[in-house]
Structure 1
């Protein structure tokens, strides 16, 4: 009976502690921060870019080796009402993708191992315009979802380069247009607000600049190539 009473007491204590964790009012940090009409901050983060390819013929898929890049930038936040904010987050994004071709793309042509690989290093100036939908604040945290559109300028695109893949140059368009969706949580600390978030980014437009040879093994079978990626940002305000 003593053991049963001890187990019941421990279980009851856990239940009470759990309930208090989510319902008991705590000391509120930065209580009036969300009442500002306009606020500024900065972010740093990580990214992983990919390509979504569509093909003219049913050949082997072009593989993309993704790597982790990083980004940094500024945030501007315009309060529209208690739950809705308009956000502008210009930033610089550094990314790298390795594109691997199957040997079948060079059927009947001479090639070497270097022809099967294209390294795509990109430096983007990224301009997203986002709507942020927040829940009610719960003590010192506040979840939200975010979505919107964006455009980027690829400083490493090679769009104007007269050399193409036959000379080892993989070319992309200078400008890309995206839609973005994601979620995050505002954490109200003692002196500043810290916001981790994650977003999926998906390009609208085909970014591949075709080679001069319409039957090029590198671009001849690509109907469209569109960027997609994941951003993990850590914002400080």
Structure 2
């Protein structure tokens, strides 16, 4: 039985391969011959932060009890969604390579949870504090695209790039605050679909922050000393994103 199923799957794959060789009328046959062109982009993304927890710390909250040891761990306990908008300009280097410059904006909110291991609730569990960390980034991605030869009305590709960003959000009364600037390494895959009136390019890419994006100077600006145990709980943070973007060219 397993052998028959395997042969049936092989037959379907062979049939699909034969059908894929059929040539069809090409939409916009000369669109890839342009030296330079523009477009717009929209998309969605998931954000995450990797934290390095500091461990035990000595905190003086000025309540008359003197310095005490606190242990607080912090994490972004889920991938949080956001959306992206922007424009693009693309330069054709040769038949395979293109250089894309894509200014855009990334909007989202990260949900952070602090676990105070030094203070337990009535159930013997660590008490928790949360923070909604809103983010609004201005970005300008520089991507190198390597595309396969076009077949019919589609053309797959891979991409690699760097994406510097400027963070426009952040409050002085938050537990955690991020730096104003960061840079992401981008790697992804996509496919061009040639439609009658425009070219649609869905792209899935993975982005990883190259620097420590935690604003360590934020602690000195806190007025509420009870926030220190939470703001001091991490020493380093790196941002990550998974982005699904649709380019219209």
Alignment of 1:232 with 2:238, yes or no, is no
SS at match of 2:155: strand
Q: Is contact 1:64–1:97 with CA below 8 Å preserved after alignment?
A: no
Q: Is contact 2:74–2:233 with CA below 8 Å preserved after alignment?
A: no
- Determine the C-alpha separation between the residues in 1 that align with 2:13 and 2:105: 47
2:201 counterpart residue number: 195
Q: Is contact 1:206–1:224 with CA below 8 Å preserved after alignment?
A: yes
Which of 54, 72, 81 is 1:68 aligned to?
81
For residue 196 of structure 1, report the CA deviation from its aligned partner: 0.4
SS at match of 1:217: helix
1:4 counterpart residue number: none
Q: Is contact 2:116–2:127 with CA below 8 Å preserved after alignment?
A: no
2:233 counterpart residue number: 221
- Determine the C-alpha separation between the residues in 2 that align with 1:209 and 1:115: 22
How many residues matched? 215
Q: Is contact 2:76–2:110 with CA below 8 Å preserved after alignment?
A: no
- Determine the C-alpha separation between the residues in 1 that align with 2:148 and 2:119: 57
Alignment of 1:185 with 2:197, yes or no, is no
Using structure 2 for the length normalisation, give the TM-score: 0.78
CA RMSD of aligned residues (A): 2.7
Q: Is contact 2:74–2:113 with CA below 8 Å preserved after alignment?
A: no
1:43 counterpart residue number: 41
Runs of 4+ in 1 over 3 A off after TM superposition: 13-17, 58-61
For residue 204 of structure 1, report the CA deviation from its aligned partner: 1.1
